[in-house]
Structure 1
Amino acid sequence: MSKPVLLAVAHGSKHPEARETVSQLARQVTRLAPVLDVQVAYVQDSEPSLAAGLAAAGTSVVIVPLLLSTGYHLTTHIADAASAAGVAVAPPLGPDQLLVTALAGRLAETGVPAGTPVVLAAAGSADPLAAADVRRQADLLAELLDVPVVAAFATAGTPTVDEAVAELNVRTGGPVAVATYLLAPGRFHERLRKTAATWVTRPLGGHPAVAGLVIDRYRVAAASARVTAATR
């Protein structure tokens, strides 16, 4: 009997390390949940495409978006493809307490002292719901760290990361850390490393808490799909 498929769908990137980060995350999920057949597909810029991934996955499949917030790729590209294929889609990974664990872990490994104010730096989106997701994640991180945490964006959205770093520096009179709210390396992370922050953390993709979160999202979506099927 074939295993049920967890189709992890990432944004995609031309950056050489981004694909390896996604593959590493998929391997972590496989180790934690060997009963699943973990496969990977991409919305753009990488192969296999979402369409190809769905075609190869068969019928017993749940899509888990490797996206940290809602947005156009999830509500349009992924949702439309899933609807056409008749498969379930999990919510985005964030906001979530397990991402707080991953973010705090990245800050600790970077050597950020306790009490340092933090900018939670996301890629950005024109979707206001995506920005709200990031701000909620910033609030969750602030609750754990008990320091000011400001959500900021590398592209669309305000404040920009540079603006948030400058504002926190003036407000607190001390150094500021940037907590990278990205799954994989790429041009956005390279941009963050050029800010005036004293510390900039690595992306989240290789952290064990993220792999656990992917499995949680799969289980909830799969259970919901079974309930829906049973009531038809």
Structure 2
Amino acid sequence: MTALLPLHDESDHRPGSPALVLVAHGSRDPRTLATVHTLLDRIRELRPGLRVHLGHIELNEPLLPDTLAALGDDEAILVPLLLSRGYHIKQDIPEMAATARARTRVAAPLGPHPLLVETLYTRLAEAGWRTPTTESARRSTAVILAAAGSRDPDAATDTGRTATLLATRLRVPVLPAYASAASPTVPEAIRTLRSQGVRNIALASYFTAPGRFARECAEATPGIAAAPLGAHPLMARLLLHRYDETETRAPLKPALAVAS
């Protein structure tokens, strides 16, 4: 098992700590909202007394500007439920905080991180993944890491780093592929692996919740397809880790810096 980075004691909470605002993208799929609320519950269980709020970038209420307005002068750390850098991390969330004149900082995206890799491994195991035990089996096995995709090259860099970490964990090659806005697509990745003689192809679902992209990627896969990351307990721990590292980095100030 991959060694996981130590986190703060989950039960530790200092009076006067900034609020944690979980920033979700928003979705028309009700399973996404259910996932978000389960994660909120798990964060509250891990850190009793921490003020925890929710704000969406679009599509669902409460929207992030409304959440920030309700906080008034209270300090808050915005923790994006997003897996890589991209437009939402670099532009949308900081601009919403600046417009609200809120006392906030924005935490780094969730990935890459060992806790994400361990969650991906767990979801694969739940779907039936077994690590190949022989060299010949490893040569004929690979995993596709299916992600949403972005035109921002930093997003592909972050996804690629997660793929590298997952390959180390699984001891087989892991090839990133995307549902939109980037290449290769999952079918393209499958063709590439087939051309290299790979017969056993599994899919790791690098999505925070079920939805159309996750379903389409799974349906295109010839082998086992893992469930999305979802509300796995390690995801709640990772969200708190991003909160903790941002809280200790620098004093809070109105609106801007994004933790890296």
- Whether the TM-score (by the shorter chain) exceeds 0.5 is yes
Write out per-residue CA displacement over residues 79-129 of structure 1, whole angstroms, 9 at most, x where no aligned residue.
112234231110000011110110000011110121341100000001000
Shift in Å, 1:227: 7.7
Residues 1:110 and 2:110 are matched in the alignment? no
60-69 or 170-179, which deviates more? 170-179
Residues 1:169 and 2:186 are matched in the alignment? no
Residues 1:132 and 2:157 are matched in the alignment? yes
Shift in Å, 1:175: 1.9
Q: Report if the CA contact (8 A) 1:88-1:221 is conserved.
A: yes
Q: Report if the CA contact (8 A) 2:203-2:221 is conserved.
A: no
Across the two proteins, how many residue pairs are aligned to each other?
229
Cα distance between partner residues in 1 of 2:198 and 2:151:
32
Match of 1:160 in 2: 185
Runs of 4+ in 1 over 6 A off after TM superposition: none
Residues 1:88 and 2:105 are matched in the alignment? yes
Match of 2:50 in 1: 36
Cα distance between partner residues in 1 of 2:253 and 2:29:
39
Mark the CA change 1:37 to 1:126 in structure 2 (over 3 Å): closer, same or farther. Answer: same
Cα distance between partner residues in 2 of 1:228 and 1:76:
18
Shift in Å, 1:192: 1.3
Shift in Å, 1:172: 3.7
51-60 or 154-163, which deviates more? 51-60
Residue identity over aligned pairs, in percent, reads 43
1:49-128 superposed matches below 5 A? 49-58=63-72, 59-83=74-98, 84-115=101-132, 116-128=141-153
Write out per-residue CA displacement over residues 51-95 of structure 1, whole angstroms, 9 at most, x where no aligned residue.
011112341211000000011111111011223423111000001
Tell me which amino acid in the other structure corresponds to 1:138.
Answer: A
Cα distance between partner residues in 2 of 1:94 and 1:206:
16
Cα distance between partner residues in 2 of 1:146 and 1:57:
46
Shift in Å, 1:174: 1.4
Residues 1:150 and 2:164 are matched in the alignment? no
SS in 2 for 1:41: strand
Bigger helix fraction: 1
SS in 2 for 1:117: strand
Match of 2:207 in 1: 182
Match of 1:10 in 2: 24
Mark the CA change 1:108 to 1:194 in structure 2 (over 3 Å): closer, same or farther. Answer: same
Q: Report if the CA contact (8 A) 1:93-1:217 is conserved.
A: yes
Gaps of 5+ in 1: none
Tell me which amino acid in the other structure corresponds to 2:146.
Answer: A
Tell me which amino acid in the other structure corresponds to 1:33.
Answer: R
Match of 2:5 in 1: none
- CA RMSD in angstroms, aligned pairs only: 1.8
Mark the CA change 1:184 to 1:96 in structure 2 (over 3 Å): closer, same or farther. Answer: same
In terms of Rg, which structure is larger? 2
Shift in Å, 1:2: 6.8
Shift in Å, 1:186: 1.1
Shift in Å, 1:211: 0.7
Match of 1:219 in 2: 244
Shift in Å, 1:158: 1.1
TM-score (structure 2 length as normaliser): 0.83
Cα distance between partner residues in 2 of 1:38 and 1:81:
18
TM-score (structure 1 length as normaliser): 0.93
Cα distance between partner residues in 2 of 1:54 and 1:46:
15
Match of 2:231 in 1: 206
